[in-house]
Amino acid sequence: MSVFCKLTRPRCVVCVSLGYVERYWTSAGTWLIRERHSAPSPDRAEAEGTGAYHPIHLGALAYAGEGWRKPPKPKWGARADERKGWRFATKDGEAPGENVTPDPIHPDFKHIRELYFENNKDYGGRFTVPTLYDKKQKRIVNNESSEIIRMFYHAFDKLLPEKYAKLDLLPEKLKESIEATNEWTYNDINNGVYKSGFATTQEAYEKNVKTLFAALDRAEAELAKSPGPYYHGADPTEADVRLYPTIIRFDAVYVQHFKCNLREIRSGYPALHKWVRHCYWKNEAFGGTTEFTHIKNHYTKSHHQINPLSITPLGPDPDILPMDEEVPAVKAALKK
């Protein structure tokens, strides 16, 4: 279970806590990092990511995909406290698992709310994630994942090797198509698993899970038509970055934990299955930010209303299949 995600540079750190993402400042404020904040230096660039919560994973993917020195390494951390935000591991505290690190900027901070109060002592909102923090000015820059990932696209191009600086996850010729895809992907897939899993009535659950699988059918159809290996062809785009965190968690967590069990990705969606495996196995920005133990433990040990005994299922086994393997049912179908 990863509860502290930091994307560390000399001037900014991304830290995370559990909670639904809310906008902290307006879109205009997000670009303070370019206009007013000091730029990082490449020799000190470091990234560490998360396996826990998929909006957090978006930032880690964008950071790694843009070529920072190493892709984020998933980190474990401590359980969230809804009133205080995510609890950080502390240097003197008991570590809840492997790969736990305190906040490198505030090693004595115990909860994410301390970061918000440092920024604004009168803050009265929720302590949400992901949070982009400028350690020089000691202020939160942004906590909206969709805006943070776009900051990483070009704000630091001058510091990157050419092959990464020229990578464009939102090319102008595809922008309209990508943004149209983003809308239904977020509403019906990224958020759809949560709408299904946290439904409190049978009617709400059935409505949301059917919408979710209709959207998965749509993504399957679009990927089947794509020349691949990515959503829009030969190169990864924001569409891949936004879809991957949910699909990579789907069989491992959402099928059982959120009751999204009409079909699995590996047995019911051949194009999605091929796509997600290519992302994981062939692109370090995706595979290097994914840790299945963290993913499973986060969900199964955080949501007591769903899993009160915090028992973590062992399967599926393996967490993700190699590129050239299929589950038995798919193998049999391919032989026909």
Q: What is the pLDDT of residue 335?
A: 74
**Per-residue pLDDT, 319:** 97
Position 81 scores a pLDDT of 56
pLDDT of residue 7: 32
- What value does the mean pLDDT take over residues 198-215? 98
- Mean pLDDT value across the chain: 78
Which pLDDT value is given to residue 19?
Answer: 26
The larger pLDDT score, comparing residue 150 to residue 48, is at 150
pTM (2 decimals)?
0.77
Do the bridges between strand 12-15 and strand 131-134 make them parallel or antiparallel, or are there none, so unpaired? Answer: antiparallel
Give which of 14, 225, 18, 219 is closest to 111, Cα–Cα: 18
- Of 135, 161, 159, 131, the C-alpha closest to 144 is 131
Q: At residue 263, does pLDDT exceed 80?
A: yes
**Where does the pLDDT of residue 100 fall: very low under 50, low under 70, confident under 90, or very high at 90 and above?**
low
- CB atoms near residue 141 (< 10 Å): 24
Residue 25 has pLDDT above 50, yes or no: no
- Tell which residue, 94, 87, 2, 81, has the closest CA to residue 48: 2
pLDDT above 80: residue 52: no
pLDDT above 80 for 244: yes
Which among 50, 63, 46, 58 is positioned nearest to 17, based on CA atoms?
Answer: 50
> Residues 279, 282, 284, CA angle at the centre, nearest 5°?
80
pLDDT of residue 86: 78
Higher pLDDT, 79 or 99: 99
Residue 220 CB-density burial (10 A; 0-12 exposed, 13-18 middle, 19+ buried):
buried
Binned at pLDDT 50, 70 and 90, residue 298 comes out as confident
> Amino acid identity, residue 77?
G
Q: Residue type at 241?
A: V
Q: Which domains does the chain have, with CATH numbers?
A: 6-165 (3.40.30.10), 172-335 (1.20.1050.10)
pLDDT at 80 (0 to 100) = 53
Beta strand pairing call for 46-49 and 73-74: parallel
User: What average pLDDT does this structure show over 154-171?
Assistant: 85
